[in-house]
A and B are shown apart, each in its own frame.
Chain A
Amino acid sequence: MLHFILKRLGLAILVAFTVSFISFSLMFLSGDPAAALAGETASGEDIEAIRVLYGFDRPMLVQYSEWLAGAVQGDFGESYYFKLPVAGLIGERLTVTMTLGVYAISFALLVAVPLGVIAAIRPNSLIDRFALFLSVAGQAMPSFWFGLILIVVFAIKLQWLPPSGANSFKHFIMPTIVLGYYAMPAIMRLTRAGMLDVLSSDYIRTARAKGASEMRVLFKHALRNAIIPVVSLAAVQMGFMLGGSIVVESIFALHGAGYLAWESIARNDLPTVQALILIFSMFYIVFTLIADVLNAWLDPRMRSS
């Protein structure tokens, strides 16, 4: 087990370094970051001054190692737009995004797991078909469109919910639904497949033969085993969701890290963008690491691969 964890941790660290290098290199995609920063009207001297000021004249690897050394200590430099430390800007808004992420994954699990269980108990029933329809439709629904429809119906026509902002729990309801909806199909399918698999196994037949009640068989014996892969899938989905919150946050003007990313990209605020890409990637790396270790702990067969 320790061997597995160390190996997996090593991979995670290696991936993190590579991702950090890629997010740093984005700055050089445009060719000359100093010219991009100075704007179209700048003279050659201005660009040269900016190049020296920001240290773009030094070799890229030197700049990268400096940036990385700062990033490891939580210092991501200064935002070009706000003229404030990036770390502070992000820290404030990350709480909003994390709150949204936790709500969304909870919502997805609360809907998708029961649906998956019922679908597995009664395959090809009406509920099974409804669940399948929901998952197929969910994958095809453009999130920004879904969000706008919710706003029109629940905020404008019915006036039940506020259309934007992040001041109260009510503000999070629509964003939670839109973001959570996307994790549902995968969770539901995995729950259904896992339950179907477990329900046909020998130990379930034994439990039934012993005279255990159907409820006891389903929840104590079957779901407990079927839920293991779902938990780790949920961790991975959570990582994906935080990265995908940018669309949802922009529709509902929810001022979280995703919204900040969108604004910073539009403003060419590269230090903020680099930091956000790195942070979202780190979340994904940490969540998948937790998921893998959890899997290996609960199911020793996973440790060998």
Chain B
Amino acid sequence: MTPLDSTDPLLQEQFVPSASSVLRARILNHTGLLFGLVVVGLLVLVALFAPFIAPHDPYAQDLTMRMKPPVFMGGTMEHLLGTDHLGRDYLSRLIYGARVSLLIGFIAAVISGVIGTALGVAAGYFGGRVDAVVTFLINVRLAMPVVLVALAVVAILGGSLQVVIGVLGLLLWDRFAVVMRSSTQQVRRREYVAAAQAIGASTPRVILSEIMPNIVNNLIVIVTLEMAHAILLEAALSFLGLGVQPPTPSWGLMVAEGKNMMLFEPWLVLIPGAVLFVLVLAINLMGDGLRDVTAPDNRN
């Protein structure tokens, strides 16, 4: 006597929704996550297709067209968001600036993700001395003031895109290490890990095929949050004059360049800052949303 509903595929689908449909429903019900995904998606497209979207060359100067206001402040359609102090089209510089921000944020997050995950998983899996050494390294890293060290290193090595990415990548791994360490500690105690070890699976195999798949959700969340962190830091470094160098269009640099004319042309500062704020907000909402959706019981 088997109950009907466990054999009837139709009923089963109705009462036990598949994992992917649950996930889809959760994503669609999560306003923050949807907002984040849409905004980040749009900005990634803008960055990828910058040469096709930008109305002007972001580097082309025209000193006869300096500091024209945006169209909603009495400007012309020729320069939708006006021009900067060198007569460069502001919208085009914003569009190319998305490339700089996203590129730096993404690569820096990947570099620090690799470092932090390796350290964190090793600490969580092996425990003991390995854990003590990694915990020590995390403490050392946390004690170093990020902005100060990043500024100093960029000043010494020169402010190129590669240097900024490298410095941020080498500095931002602490949260990865902390989270991956505790996630690994939790997963390591599960029966399936013991089972894999019992049937003689090698350590790399246990880590790659038993541990990693179960902590990858947390990893993705930290990647997004640290990407936002890296983008903000790049903007701050460039704003202070020790990040990406002119004439590269970086949003932080645009704010710095507009700063002196802020009194008469506040939009020079408001526009790039607002775009930066929206991008970082969207990435953060995406990260928070992904955490809610993939691990609803981890919310505080």
Contacts of A121 in B (CB 8 A): none
Please judge, given known A-B contacts A19-B143, A30-B157, A277-B149, whether A152 and B266 are in contact too, CB under 8 Å: yes
Beyond A29-B153, A246-B240: 14 further Cβ-contacts under 8 Å? Answer: A11-B139, A26-B153, A36-B156, A142-B239, A149-B270, A152-B263, A156-B263, A189-B300, A246-B151, A261-B148, A265-B155, A273-B148, A277-B152, A281-B145
- CB of B111 within 8 Å of the partner chain: no
Minimum CB–CB distance from A12 to chain B (whole Å) comes to 8
Shortest distance between the CB of B113 and any CB in chain A (Å): 19
B148 touches A15 (CB 8 A): no
Does A140 touch B at the CB level, under 8 Å?
Answer: yes
Q: Are A15 and B143 in contact (CB under 8 A)?
A: yes
- Nearest Cβ distance between residue B18 and chain A, in whole angstroms? 30
Is A281 touching B143 in the complex (CB atoms < 8 A)?
yes
A22 touches B144 (CB 8 A): yes
* Chain B positions within 8 Å of A288 at CB level: 142-143
A259 to chain B, nearest CB (A): 11
Residues of chain A with a CB closer than 8 A to B85's CB: none
Q: How far is the CA of A276 from the CA of B145 in the complex (A)?
A: 10
Chain A proximity of B164: nearest CB distance (Å): 14
Distance (whole angstroms) from the CB of A190 to the closest CB of chain B: 9
Q: Which of B94-145 contact A (CB under 8 A)?
A: 136, 139-140, 142-145
Q: Least Cβ distance of B29 to chain A in Å?
A: 15
B155-A268 in contact (CB<8A):
yes
Give Cα distance in the complex from A244 to B157, angstroms.
22
User: Is A2 close to B, CB under 8 A?
Assistant: no
**Chain A contacts for B139, CB-based, 8 A:** 11, 15
The answer to whether A265 touches B255, judged by C-beta atoms less than 8 angstroms apart, is no
Interface check A284, CB cutoff 8 A? yes
B149 partner residues in chain A, CB cutoff 8 A: 26, 277
A4 interface residue (CB < 8 Å to B): no
Q: A177-209 interface mask toward B, CB cutoff 8 Å, 1 = contact, 0 = none?
A: 000000000000100110000000000000000
> Are B252 and A144 touching (Cβ within 8 A)?
yes
A285 at the binding interface (Cβ < 8 Å): yes
Q: Which B residues between 199 and 256 are near A, CB-CB below 8 angstroms?
A: 228, 232, 235-236, 239-242, 252, 255
Does residue A69 face the partner (Cβ distance < 8 Å to B)?
no
Give chain A nearest CB distance to B132 CB in angstroms: 9
- A271 part of interface (Cβ distance < 8 Å): no
The answer to whether A243 and B136 touch across the interface, beta carbons within 8 angstroms, is no
Q: Which residues of A contact B263 (CB under 8 A)?
A: 152, 156
Whether A61 is near chain B, meaning CB under 8 Å from some CB there, is no
A18 close to B (CB within 8 Å)? yes
Most A CB contacts (10 A, CB to CB) among B139, B241, B284 go to B139
Question: Would you list which residues of chain A between 96 and 148 have a CB under 8 Å from chain B?
Answer: 136-137, 139-145, 148
Closest chain A residue to B241 by CB distance?
A266
Q: Select from chain A the residue with minimum beta-carbon distance to B236.
A: A247
16 contacts between A and B (CB under 8 A): A11-B139, A15-B140, A22-B140, A140-B228, A142-B236, A142-B252, A144-B252, A145-B269, A148-B259, A192-B300, A243-B148, A246-B151, A262-B240, A265-B151, A284-B142, A284-B143
Cβ of B257 < 8 Å from any Cβ of A? Answer: no
Check if A14 is an interface residue, CB within 8 A of chain B.
yes
Complex alpha-carbon distance, A151 and B266, angstroms: 11
Least Cβ–Cβ distance between B238 and chain A, in angstroms:
10
Closest 10 CB pairs of A and B: A243-B145, A145-B273, A140-B281, A140-B280, A280-B145, A193-B300, A281-B143, A144-B239, A30-B156, A265-B155
Q: Which partner residue on chain A sits nearest B132 by CB separation?
A: A11
Contact check, A280 vs B273: say whether CB atoms are below 8 A apart.
no
On whether the beta carbons of B140 and A18 are closer than 8 Å, the reply is yes
Residue B146 at the A interface, CB < 8 A? yes
Determine if A250 is an interface residue (Cβ-Cβ < 8 Å): yes
Which of B32, B235, B262, B285 meets A142, CB within 8 Å? B235
User: In chain A, residues 1-30, which have Cβ atoms closer than 8 Å to a Cβ of chain B?
Assistant: 11, 14-16, 18-19, 22-23, 26, 29-30
Q: How far is the CA of A193 from the CA of B288 in the complex (A)?
A: 16
Of A14, A18, A277, which contacts B145 at CB under 8 A? A277
Q: Are A136 and B284 in contact (CB under 8 A)?
A: yes
Cβ of A151: which chain B residues have Cβ within 8 Å of it? 262
Chain A residues with CB under 8 Å of B280's CB are 139-140, 142
Q: A14-B136, A142-B276, A144-B236 are in contact. Are A280 and B156 (CB under 8 A)?
A: no
A246 to B150, CA, bound (A): 12
Give, as a whole number of angstroms, the nearest-CB distance from B183 to chain A. 17
Chain A neighbourhood of B53, CB < 8 A: none
> Are A136's CB and B145's CB within 8 A?
no
Tell me the complex Cα distance, A62–B255, Å. 44
Interface pair B148/A26, CB less than 8 Å apart: no
CB distance from B64 to the nearest CB of A (A): 28
Quick one: CB contact mask for B165-184 with A, threshold 8 Å, 1 for yes? 00000000000000000000
CA distance A244 to B144 in the complex (A): 11
- B153: nearest chain-A partner, CB-CB: A29
For B282, give the chain A residue with the smallest CB separation.
Answer: A140
Cβ–Cβ contact A19 & B147, under 8 A? no
Instruction: Kindly state the separation between the CA atoms of A281 and B235 in the bound complex, as whole angstroms.
Output: 23
Least CB separation from B145: chain A residue: A243
Q: Assess the A243–B152 pair: CB atoms within 8 A.
A: no
The residue of chain B having its C-beta at the shortest distance from the C-beta of A242 within the complex is B145
* B277 lies within 8 A of chain A by Cβ: yes
A contact residues around B273 at 8 Å (CB): 142, 145, 148-149
